Amino acid sequence: MSDIKLNKGFLDFVYDFYKGMKEHEITLAYEGEINHQIMKTFTSLAEGNMSKNDESELLQKKVYHVMVECLQNISKHAVHPEDEADLEYNRGIFLISRNNKVYNVTTGNVIKNERIIYLTELLDHVNSLNREQLNELYKKQLREGHLSEKGGAGLGFIDIRRKTGEELLYKFLPLSGTHAFFLLTSTIPRNF
């Protein structure tokens, strides 16, 4: 009897998930390990979906670019199996949603709490800059950027902001005394 209840509960969850995806106009959702093959699959699916919806080539390129940068950010900032014994930490989420005005690319992954201050300062700084300042910072980081221990100089965040003209939305949700879940949403206007 408990298996039947469990199955009905799961089916209710799936239907609620489906309704939530429709309500928030999510066109692609994934949870799991992010690797090069998954990235290729996502970009192919998104491109096919945007072509089907007759999106301009320029918009398709912007969404593609943001997707790649966001997925690379997961691999740069996520906790990796060599860092942790728990392989579940090496997983992430990836969502694309759209409405009449924008596409949203949302990623989420587990990070160490010690990265929160660095990421907050970096994202707040990038969000505070206008287009000219972003271009200057991008060029400066290319010339003399100081790479973090994860290999990035914040170029991905800077570039997303430059390409979209929109603030990066982010949130850190506590998981434990040592880890948090890092959510990032990049918005790409459909009419620019």
* Span 132-145, average pLDDT: 88
Q: What is the pLDDT of residue 158?
A: 94
For the structural domain made of 25-189, what CATH number should be given?
A: 3.30.565.10
Residues 10 and 161: their CA atoms lie apart, in Å, by: 39
Q: What is the pTM assigned to this prediction?
A: 0.84
The three-state secondary structure class of 32 is: strand
Q: What confidence tens digit (pLDDT) does each residue in 147-190 have?
A: 554 545 588 999 999 999 999 999 999 999 999 999 999 999 99
The three-state secondary structure class of 70 is: helix
Q: What is the pLDDT of residue 151?
A: 47
Residues 74 and 31: their CA atoms lie apart, in Å, by: 12
Going from the C-alpha of 76 to that of each of 90, 100, 140, 147, the distances in angstroms are 11, 32, 21, 11
User: Which of these, 57, 81, 77, 64, lies nearest to 28 by C-alpha position?
Assistant: 64
Sequence-ordered list of residues with C-beta below 8 angstroms from that of 115, at least 6 positions apart, any chain: 77, 182
* Span 29-49, average pLDDT: 84
Q: What is the pLDDT of residue 2?
A: 58
User: Which of these, 186, 192, 182, lies nearest to 78 by C-alpha position?
Assistant: 182
Every domain of the chain and the residues it spans: 25-189
Q: What confidence tens digit (pLDDT) does each residue in 66-116 have?
A: 998 888 877 665 665 555 555 455 678 999 999 999 999 999 999 899 999
For residues 187 and 103, the answer to whether their CB atoms sit within 8 Å is yes
* Span 132-153, average pLDDT: 75
For residue 137, the surrounding DSSP H or E stretch is helix 131-144
